[in-house]
Every structure is written in structure tokens, then in C-alpha cells.
Amino acid sequence: MTKTYDQFLDSSKIAEDLVTKLKWLAIPGVDVEAVMATQRKNIEALANASRTTLDGAQAIGKRQAEIFQETMNHTAGSLEALAKAGTPLDIATQQASLMKEGFDTALRSMRELAEMVSKAQLDAVGAIGDRVVQSLHEFNRAAPQPTTDAAAVKAEPTAKESVSH
């Protein structure tokens, strides 16, 4: 059975599997539920970033196909124009013009595709980066806080004690 796109990126299923497998990590002083909630959010963020990346790749592929179709249509028109050109000088002039136009179009298309790739990457990385910062704050709140036992806390040495040592 082949997994579909949505099944593969089902963050709730992934999170539940993780929670089930990691229940044994009950460490004293650690809020396991808070840690699990953080992990669920991390998995959701990764799934969303994956969706963003895949959506971007699909959009890029679609645009590449459109560019290819536009290029083929333009090439057919160019060949017709060349066939109708009269003298060899007219043909050479027409060819030079078509080559310049084709080169300009190719550069614009490459720039457009590069911008699409960059945007998809920035969107995915930005979402993950935001989630990392949130996750660190959540872990910090869930971590056990050290207790301050008055007997265990040693006073800082005075300047005179520091010098004598």
C-alpha cells in the first residue's frame, strides 16, 4: 500500500506514535505532558514545513512546464517568421533578433524560478526557525527548576578569604 501525501504528513498521527513510544521517559521533576506537547508542536511545524516545501516544488514544476510550453510556442512562431523572411540578410537579422529575445526570456524565466525556490526555502526555514525558538522556551519552562537549599548554598568567599587561598 502506498502512503498518500496527507498520510505521510499527518502530524497528529506522528505525534501520537511518538507519545506512545516515549511514555516511559517519566523523569522526576519533568512535566512530561508539557514536553510531549512541545514535541507535538515540533512535529506539526516539521510537517507544515514539509508541506510548504512540497507545495513550492509542485508550483516550480508547474511553472517549468508552462515555461516549456511557452518556449515551444515561441519557437514554432519563430520558425514560421524565419521561413517567411526574404533575403539571407533578412534571415540573419531575424535570427539575431530571435536569439536575443530568446536569451532575455530564458534569463527572466531562470530568475523567476530561482525566486520561487528561494521563497519556498525561506518559508519552510522561517517556520522551523520560529518553532525552534518557541520550543526552547517551552523546554525551559518544563525543565525542573533547581531547589535552593540554604545548607547547600555556600556563601561566596570574601576578598580576604580569596587572597589567603
Neighbours of 98 (CB within 10 A): 17
In a domain, 4, yes or no: no
Distances from the Cα of 158 to the Cα of 136, 149, 152, 161, 163, angstroms: 37, 21, 18, 5, 9
Average pLDDT, the chain: 79
Q: What is the pTM of this model?
A: 0.61
In a domain, 160, yes or no: no
In a domain, 151, yes or no: no
- At 104-123, the pLDDT tens digits run 999 999 999 999 999 999 98
Helix (H, G, I), strand (E, B) or coil at 152: coil
Q: 71: pLDDT confidence band, cut at 50, 70 and 90?
A: very high
- At 72-85, the pLDDT tens digits run 999 898 888 888 87
Identify which of 40, 36, 52, 48 has the alpha carbon closest to the alpha carbon of residue 12: 40
Contact 51, 123 (CB under 8 A): no
Residue 1: predicted pLDDT? 44
Structural domain harbouring 65? 9-17+30-143
Domain count, the chain: 1
Residue 156 pLDDT > 80: no
In a domain, 22, yes or no: no
In a domain, 134, yes or no: yes
Residue 56: predicted pLDDT? 92
